[in-house]
Amino acid sequence: MPRKEALISQAVAHLVLDLACFFLLAGNFSSVAQTSVLAGAGYLIFLILSYGLRPFFGVILDEIPRTHSQAVGCLLVGLACFLPPSLGWVALFPAGVGSALFHTGAIGESLAFARGYFSRNAVIVSTGVFGAALGTVLAQKTALSGWIFSLLLCVLALVCFFFAEARKYPRRIRSFRHSVTLILPDWGILSLTLIPLLVISLVGTLLPADWAEGPMILIPAAACMLGRGTGGIAADRFGPRKTALVCFAAALVLLTVFPHVPWLYCLGLSALCAPTSICFGTATAALSRRPHLAVGACSAVILLGTVPALFHIPLTVSVRCLCGGLLILALAVSVGLYTDHCRLFHLTAKIGKRKGDRV
C-alpha cells in the first residue's frame, strides 16, 4: 500500500481545512452579513467556488500532477482565515479556491495511488464532513480567532508538501476497472456511477436531521464520517456490489420509515454515505488516466444534489416517497454496474499462493 504518512497527513488536513472554512463562514462572515439572505448568498458563493471549480482544476492537475495542490490549498484557506472579519466577503474567494484545489488534489492523488483499494480513498473523504460540522459549532460556541487556523494550516501545508506522493506520480494508474461491469463503455460507466452519488447528495439534503441543533449536529456528522470510512473497507472486503446493495437497502428502510428517530436516522445516514468512496473510485474506471477530473465530475454532481436545500423543502410523506424511489434507483444501478470483485480477497490469495510456493 502507499505510504501511510501521506494518507494520514491528507486526512488530517482535510478535517482541519473544512473546519477552518466553515468556521470562517459561520463566524467571521456571518458577523459581516447583516441578513439571512446575505449569509445564504455567501454560503452559496463558497459552495459554487469549492465544488464548481474542481472539474477545471481536475483537468489542470491531470496534466501537471506535481503541483502540490494540497499545500497550496491549505495556504489559501489559511490566508482567508487570517483576514480580518471586516473583509469577510473577500475571504470567501481564497477560501473557496483553496478548498477546491485541496480537495481535487488530495482525493485525486488518493485515487491515483489507491491501486484499486476503496479504503485508501475512504479514509481521506470521510474526515471532511465532520470537520465542517465542528467548525460551525466552534464558531457559534467559542471565541477562537481565525489566526489559530491560519497557523495550523501553514503547518499542515508543510506536512502535505513533505509527504506528497505526487513526486513519484505513477506512469500507469491502476484504476478501479475491476469493480465495474466490463461490457459497458467508458461513458456509460461514468454516467451510471454518478447516479448513486447524486442520490446520496439528494437524499441527504431532502431528509435532514431536524432534531440536530447546535452541538447536536456533530452526531449526524460523525455518523456520516463513520459510514464513508467503513464503506471503503467493506467494499475491499466484500466487493462494491454487495456493499452498495446492503447500504442502500438499509438507508431505504431507516431514512424513509424512521427519519425522526435519532439513532435509527444516524444508522441510516451512515449506510447512505457508505458507497461514497465506491462512487469516487469507480468514476476512475472510465477516466483511468484522469483521476483528478473524476473527482471534479463527482464534485459537480454533489453540488447539483444540494440544490433542494436552497428551497427549504419541508419533510412530508411525498418527500419521503421521493427519497425511497431515488434509493431504489441507486439499488438498481448498483446491481447492473458494480461487480463483486474483492480486492482484499485477491491480495490475500496471492500472498497465500506465494507462501505455498515457497514451502
Task: For the chain of 359 residues, list the mean pLDDT of each consecutive stretch of 10.
Answer: 78 95 87 79 92 95 87 95 88 96 94 89 93 91 81 94 75 82 89 96 91 87 95 94 96 92 94 96 90 95 91 88 96 94 66 48
> For residues 337 and 192, is the Cβ–Cβ distance under 8 A?
yes
CB count in 10 Å sphere of residue 354: 9
Question: Which CATH code for domain 4-343?
Answer: 1.20.1250.20
Q: What is the pLDDT of residue 140?
A: 83
What's the CA dihedral at 35, 309, 209, 257 to 10 degrees? Answer: 150
Residue pair 320/207 in contact (Cβ under 8 Å)? The answer is yes
Task: Say how far apart CA 285 and CA 280 lie, in whole Å.
Answer: 10
Reading the block at residue 74, the C-alpha cell is 491549505
What pTM, to 2 d.p., does this model score? Answer: 0.91
State residue 343's pLDDT score: 76
Hey, what's the cell of 122? 475512504
- pLDDT at residue 241, as a whole number: 95
Task: Pinpoint the alpha helices (H) of 207-316.
Answer: 218-238, 240-257, 262-273, 276-286, 291-305
Cell of 116: 484499486
pLDDT on residue 170: 72
List, in order, residues 6 or more apart from 323 with CB less than 8 Å away.
Answer: 202, 203, 206, 207, 255, 256
Task: List % helix, strand, coil for the chain (3-state, nearest 5).
Answer: 80, 0, 20
> How confident is the model at residue 145, as a pLDDT?
76
Evaluate the CA torsion angle 316, 321, 326, 330 in order and state its sign: positive
B/e letters for 175-200, b = 16+ CB within 10 Å, e = fewer, are bbbbbbeeebeeeebbebbbbbbbbb
Q: Which residues contact 298 (CB under 8 A, 6 or more apart)?
A: 194, 197, 279, 280, 283
Hey, what's the cell of 48? 459554487
Tell me how far apart the alpha carbons of residues 66 and 105 are, in angstroms, rounded to a whole number: 10
pLDDT reported for residue 171 = 67
Q: How far apart are CA 26 and CA 24, in angstroms?
A: 6
Give the integer Cα–Cα distance in Å for 162 and 177.
31
Cell of residue 350, nine digits: 496471492
Strand partners, 180: 338
Judging by beta carbons within 10 Å of its beta carbon (0-12, 13-18, 19+), is residue 143 exposed, middle or buried? Answer: exposed
Q: Report CA-CA distances (Å) from 239 to 117, 199, 205, 344.
A: 10, 20, 27, 9
Q: Which of 50, 69, 111 is nearest to 280 (CA)?
A: 111
